[in-house]
């Protein structure tokens, strides 16, 4: 399998996600590389916090659901996150609610200065660690591994200590009629609080989220000032959203 280093490491992550019991030798056989090469890639992945090494192999450091979501529509998610980051100015205060798209916003804040971020997302920490222009406040709470989020009463209490200019939020689904929704009540409670503690709310969600409704209703669509999505968002939906005062940016 003729892959570049980064592609090979992504493939190793995929293999481990499907079967965490794979040995170094077996991974090498699948990819057509030596065990030494596999161990080098595993060391790189461990340094990035993506795997946990074990004798003769490794296991993903993230919940399988997070890994699945990180592999889904990543080109669109990165474009959306880059656009969202472009709206942040030096000295801004923002909240970033947990999610695989929202977390990528921090990745694209490189070069920004004195940005204060409040978040319940543990996915943001590696980006903040490598960017001196970001000042990160992570709320407490109960860790939910399948979303890499801190939730619960402590998270809600901690969020009450802050007030920011802009909240960037995600969603499990949104419709014109039912607004934003989530699969988890704890996630819905945090998102509501994030919106409450900010001047304006920007929804970052790829077009696959449109038309879906989760288990828990969160907010009406009119609570969102702007939607950043991808170019596959249906034109009819864009018209309906804009008619309700939601600015739509498709990238």
What is the pLDDT at residue 6?
A: 75
Position 28 scores a pLDDT of 93
Q: Quote the pLDDT of residue 3.
A: 59
Which carries the bigger pLDDT value, residue 51 or residue 134?
134
In the CATH hierarchy, which fold is given to the domain comprising 5-61?
Arc Repressor Mutant, subunit A (1.10.10)
Contact 234, 210 (CB under 8 A): yes
Q: What is the pLDDT of residues 139-192, one digit of tens each?
A: 999 999 989 999 999 999 999 999 999 999 999 999 999 999 999 999 999 999
CA distance 116 to 128: 10
Instruction: Find out if CATH 3.55.40.20 is the number for domain 70-250.
Output: no
Q: What are the DSSP calls for 84-125, one per residue?
A: HHHT--TT-EEEE-SSHHHHHHHHT-TT--SEEEEESBGGGH
Q: Do the first three CATH levels of 5-61 and 70-250 match, i.e. the same topology?
A: no
| Six-digit token string for 19 | 């079967």
Quick check: 137 and 116 in contact, CB under 8 A? Answer: yes
Domain spans in the chain, listed from the N-terminal domain onward: 5-61, 70-250
Q: What is the pLDDT of residues 60-95, one digit of tens each?
A: 777 777 767 766 788 999 999 999 999 999 999 999
pLDDT tens column, 10-66: 889 888 877 888 999 999 999 999 999 999 999 988 887 778 888 888 877 777 777
pLDDT at 176: 96
pLDDT computed for residue 4 by the predictor: 53
CA distances from 214 to 48, 144, 148, 180, 241 (A): 32, 17, 18, 8, 19
């Amino acid at each position: 399998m003729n892959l570049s280093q980064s592609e090979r490491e992504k493939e190793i992550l995929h293999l481990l996600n499907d079967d965490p019991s794979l040995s170094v030798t077996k991974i090498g056989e699948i990819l057509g590389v030596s065990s030494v090469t596999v161990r080098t890639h595993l060391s790189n992945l461990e340094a990035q916090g993506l795997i946990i090494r074990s004798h003769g192999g490794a296991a993903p450091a993230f919940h399988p659901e997070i890994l699945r979501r990180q592999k889904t529509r990543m080109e669109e998610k990165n474009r959306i996150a880059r656009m969202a980051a472009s709206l942040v100015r030096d000295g801004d205060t923002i909240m970033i609610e947990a999610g695989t798209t929202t977390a990528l916003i921090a990745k694209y804040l490189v070069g920004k200065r004195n940005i204060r971020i409040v978040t319940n997302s543990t996915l943001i920490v590696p980006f903040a660690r490598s960017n001196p222009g970001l000042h990160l406040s992570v709320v407490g709470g109960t860790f939910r591994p399948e979303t890499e989020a801190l939730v619960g009463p402590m998270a809600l209490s901690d969020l009450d200590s802050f007030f920011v200019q802009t909240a960037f939020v995600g969603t499990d689904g949104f419709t014109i009629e039912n607004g934003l929704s989530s699969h988890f009540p704890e996630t819905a409670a945090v998102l509501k609080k994030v919106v409450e503690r900010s001047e304006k709310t920007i929804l970052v969600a790829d077009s696959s989220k449109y038309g879906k409704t989760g288990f828990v209703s969160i907010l009406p669509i009119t609570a969102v000032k702007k939607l950043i999505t991808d170019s596959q968002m249906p034109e009819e939906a864009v018209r309906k959203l804009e008619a309700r005062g939601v600015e739509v940016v498709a990238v």
